[in-house]
A and B are shown apart, each in its own frame.
Chain A
């Protein structure tokens, strides 16, 4: 267990905190100053006095919590200084605007990976390797059973899934920010040429992406109790929260699927209650995490987000990398 006094970044009340700059990273409670890696709901909270993020994240954030927040924006790789610490954002390839955050103080580098993926994704900036002494990495899929297929392959599977059932309405559930836009982009490059509809929450994010210059396919906003009969053979993107309950009664003759990295496991697929699962993720798989650990040249690694026990043991045993645990 580690929570050394001299560590630049510590684990405090369940969040990452830099004491020297009095700044929190993706805090789950309102604080004075918050660095935000990306605009997913589990990475920010309402009510902070000041937010700092990339330009894209700021726009998405405002869409989600309102315009009247105080937010400072920086470009990728643009260094800024707080209390003598040099801080900079670097692309993490997770969703539009997502970043890794690097801290440099007294010639010691700390890197917070944020959520990241290495796979190519045309709707956001590609992950960039950043060298560091200390790495704090996410570990959502930290087991070697997670090996993502090429995105093209998954997109083609989705396209076939839709076109093989022309009489059905295909409901594809996915996170409304990031995953939905990536899927739209990929699916529009497959053989499926039918209509694509999206739920309001997704439609809103699509527009943000477009405003930020990301070229994604136009979708039709799905209205309740409308055009139900025209939906045959088309694709509808919906957030996972609508998969249970009465919302599905709005449709007739449907097939459902969930797009998530967890869907690579048969038992989870079966248990999920969806007809089909497509394993596609905006997080790194096992090899992806190993690659980042290696290429970052970090001598010391911490993991958070996910079950990191196996990865930690593996790195220590096999790669002789010093993997540390945060003290609680």
Chain B
């Protein structure tokens, strides 16, 4: 019966607006279902996988063949519904009730660990038959879940934070711990669920996992009222945020998107391994101009991010550096609770020790971030304006008395960007270009989050290099959900930094805002779609400017 339970859960989460009610619904789901199914549920709800097994187009073609519906009719329906999985679900209604076959009560685990993976092993004809068979034996209320998982479009209004809260309340253990347990890889299994709900906290179990990242909020003017001495000032580097972990002698590099990127930066892994102590550092990875002691542009870093096992010559051509700004753990001792100013002292102390005691020179790949000491807020603003000169994005302003908590809690870290007219947005549509760009998808539309929905807010076509355009074009062709004439709707997966000149209220747009001269300034391959900005951020930006 458990797939029906999961369908009900989906339905509930989809229609409930209150966070507390969502938590209650999740808790009671976890309590009444098998650990293995709970594990899969968490896997799906946290968006750990949005693998597409079959495209929406394929599914619609298949439906058209089996039930003798003209393709154009299905396309017309799609225009009304906007989601292939749902169109098929609605079309299947009452179609399968006249069947004589017995309905099958499968579990979420069976669906995800057997039925769907098996589909990819079949040839096309067998696969089509199997899908038809599932449609006709699956209870109607499960069709939407099945079609959505199949097409990789399962999304519902639940964040990782909400799952974390629910589990935390379920077993009465601090959210921080649950959040930590959910970091990194999550392979659905009985063990992974039992680990998640284990009431005994064991530091060692978490040893392979990064800590939940502390994220900065956008600076608010009210901070000007506080004393300048309450804060630590750093440059806001424009690199990849990395948690560099060395435990039991093993070094691992985790990105904020919870990806392990050791393979891309072997020289850093090698150097850090030579340090005697164990530690967890939070910092920024950059391609570094050693001559001028400033960061190279983000585009240099892009040459390194996706390249696994880079050759020596690449390593020399694009030399990297890890700039540490925080020490979270030292020799197995979690020091996140200690005040920032004291963590900073520890960081400097250990860095000095490692510099002197490590055989190899570590300073050519690892340093601590420099601090800035503005006299007053006016001085701080002057520093901020200078940040472009040294290729940084502005300032990071950290509360000296704060401990290192997870997530984006207000009042701990602030980011104060020199150019505030920027938002990270998700690519959702692409359109073919014309003239020199004909045959390539070069006109893009970007969206911001509103609750759990992506709302289009700007279109842009400039800013990418020709090589990037080609790369993105290839990706677009592989990740199209739908085509409407020259426009393709895309799987939400790619995040871009969009810069613009002006932002104002607009009733003509669904987003309620209009921006002037939007352009792409960065392809944020290091970010996942959940890291993209929300419409709320855009409104906040507008408020600040006016």
Interface residues of A (CB under 8 A from B): 143-147, 149, 264-267, 269-270, 275-277, 287, 309-310, 313-314, 317-318
A266 close to B86 (CB less than 8 A): yes
In the complex with contacts A265-B90, A287-B94, A145-B77 CB distance below 8 A: yes
Q: A144-B73, A310-B76 are in contact. List 8 more A-B contacts (CB 8 A).
A: A147-B94, A265-B86, A266-B86, A267-B81, A309-B76, A310-B73, A313-B73, A317-B70
What are 10 sample pairs from A and B whose C-beta atoms fall under 8 A apart? A144-B77, A145-B77, A145-B90, A147-B93, A147-B94, A267-B83, A310-B73, A314-B70, A314-B73, A317-B70
Chain A positions within 8 Å of B70 at CB level:
314, 317-318
The distance in angstroms between the C-alpha atoms of A275 and B72, with both chains bound, is 33
Q: Is B14 among interface residues, defined by CB-CB distance under 8 A? A: yes
Q: Smallest CB–CB gap between A318 and chain B, Å? A: 7
Chain A positions within 8 Å of B453 at CB level:
270
The distance in angstroms between the C-alpha atoms of A287 and B453, with both chains bound, is 32
The distance in angstroms between the C-alpha atoms of A143 and B83, with both chains bound, is 15
Q: Is B80 among interface residues, defined by CB-CB distance under 8 A? A: yes
Q: Is B251 among interface residues, defined by CB-CB distance under 8 A? A: no
Q: Smallest CB–CB gap between A191 and chain B, Å? A: 17
Interface residues of B (CB under 8 A from A): 14-17, 69-70, 72-73, 76-77, 80-83, 86-87, 90-91, 93-95, 453
Chain B positions within 8 Å of A314 at CB level:
70, 73
Which 9 residue pairs spanning A and B have beta carbons closest together? A145-B90, A147-B93, A147-B94, A310-B76, A145-B77, A276-B15, A267-B82, A143-B77, A265-B81
B76 close to A143 (CB less than 8 A): yes
The distance in angstroms between the C-alpha atoms of A270 and B510, with both chains bound, is 14
Q: Smallest CB–CB gap between A232 and chain B, Å? A: 16
Q: Smallest CB–CB gap between A138 and chain B, Å? A: 18
A265 close to B80 (CB less than 8 A): yes
Q: Which of B16, B17, B81 contacts A145 (CB 8 A)?
A: B81
Q: Smallest CB–CB gap between A251 and chain B, Å? A: 16
Q: Smallest CB–CB gap between A285 and chain B, Å? A: 9
The distance in angstroms between the C-alpha atoms of A147 and B143, with both chains bound, is 14
The distance in angstroms between the C-alpha atoms of A147 and B81, with both chains bound, is 14
The distance in angstroms between the C-alpha atoms of A146 and B83, with both chains bound, is 15
Chain B positions within 8 Å of A287 at CB level:
94
The distance in angstroms between the C-alpha atoms of A275 and B14, with both chains bound, is 9
The distance in angstroms between the C-alpha atoms of A270 and B156, with both chains bound, is 12
A144 close to B69 (CB less than 8 A): yes
In the complex with contacts A264-B90, A265-B90, A317-B70, A143-B14 CB distance below 8 A: no
Chain A positions within 8 Å of B91 at CB level:
144-145, 147
The distance in angstroms between the C-alpha atoms of A149 and B94, with both chains bound, is 8
Select from chain A the residue with minimum beta-carbon distance to B68. A318
The distance in angstroms between the C-alpha atoms of A24 and B318, with both chains bound, is 81
Chain B positions within 8 Å of A269 at CB level:
15
